[in-house]
Amino acid sequence: MLPVTLARFLVEAERKNPAVSADLRFLVEVVSRACKAISIAIGKGSLADVLGGAGSDNIQGEAQKKLDVISNEILLDANEWGGHLAAMASEEMDGPHQIPRRYPKGEFLLVFDPLDGSSNIDVNISVGTIFSVLRCPEGAGDVGEQAFLQPGTQQVCAGFAVYGPSTLLVLTLGDGVKCFTLDREYGHFVLTQENMRIPDDTKEFAINMSNQRFWEPPVQRYVGELLAGKDGPRGQDFNMRWVASMVADVFRILTRGGVFMYPVDSRTKDKGGKLRLMYEANPMAMIVEQAGGRATTGRERILDIQPTKLHQRVPVILGSKNEVERVSAYHRG
């Protein structure tokens, strides 16, 4: 039996799922090819002139890595000619990227973080690409920021690539979560996990502990109980992992459970949090919910948030259902 490649999976998904159109199938294939190109660029590391700073800042005022800019360009170049997109938006660009007039436009909006965790690049730790697909509201001409400001429940597709020991593509089309592994010999993604599920309970949490003194009381209480272990109110010991690449932490949670937290704190309160809603929290929330987990800000379901700005930040608490619900209960309490 030949392995099921991404191409075959998408053809079969188009046959049985009316929500999967030929254009959506094409979009996912194009994004997967761009992720393959990014994986190759990253894999060169110090052998090519791709590490270190780009000498520029992005809209967030963060210094861009060369590979942030390279990855963004790869995704733009791969997607702008195909006729499947109305426009694109990215963490690395101030506003929407219009499809050049020489190409046809399509019905979808593609929003992405081209290289998530790029601060880990220079120390050879896993990074990734996160993407979200929305339908473009009716209307001709240039696509403004407003067209993108749709709640996460409107996403038709979400996924992320992890550039780690192996290159993986995690994908949901709204009917469960699949994982594909890049076969570098043949150059195609192969279906390796048909139905990723997050266990309802876990003994593992992920948070940047160095921020502890800035957290709000509900998070202080929740993490304090985990650290108290079996002699504390939880009556069991917990383990901690923090890769500082969301794609790596979320993939681990999809594989063995866990709770990931980047809560708002006294330093980030005026910005709304650290992680971005449109191209980090929303796609990850769709994937986590599709795998049986939960994703909230602590106070509301992430997918229900009505965005007000393209680069809006939100608190993120996601993963194993019973732990996320406990954190939310502490926020309500």
Residues at the contact surface with ligand P6P, assessed by CB under 6 A? 116-117, 119, 208, 244-246, 275
Which of residues 11 and 244 has its CB atom nearest to ligand P6P in the complex? Answer: 244
Smallest gap from residue 142 Cβ to ligand P6P (A): 29
How far are the Cα atoms of 68, 209, 244 from residue 120, in angstroms, in the given order?
Answer: 12, 18, 8
* 82-92: burial string, b at 16+ Cβ within 10 Å, e else: bebbbbbbbbb
Smallest gap from residue 61 Cβ to ligand P6P (A): 13
Which of residues 84 and 274 has its CB atom nearest to ligand P6P in the complex? Answer: 274
Smallest gap from residue 171 Cβ to ligand P6P (A): 19
Written as six digits, the tokens of 99 are: 């499809």
Position closest to ligand P6P via CB: 246
Which of residues 106 and 293 has its CB atom nearest to ligand P6P in the complex? Answer: 293
113, 71 contact by CB (below 8 A): no
Smallest gap from residue 146 Cβ to ligand P6P (A): 25
Q: CA-based angle 31:36:39, to the nearest 5?
A: 125
Q: How far apart are CA 177 and CA 171, in angstroms?
A: 6
Q: CA-based angle 43:47:53, to the nearest 5?
A: 80
Which of residues 178 and 276 has its CB atom nearest to ligand P6P in the complex? Answer: 276
Which of residues 99 and 246 has its CB atom nearest to ligand P6P in the complex? Answer: 246
Q: How far apart are CA 31 and CA 37, in angstroms?
A: 10
Which of residues 106 and 319 has its CB atom nearest to ligand P6P in the complex? Answer: 319
Written as six digits, the tokens of 164 are: 């780690």
Smallest gap from residue 119 Cβ to ligand P6P (A): 5
Smallest gap from residue 245 Cβ to ligand P6P (A): 5
How far are the Cα atoms of 6, 76, 117, 247 from residue 26, in angstroms, in the given order?
Answer: 11, 15, 27, 23
Decide: helix, strand or coil at residue 72: helix
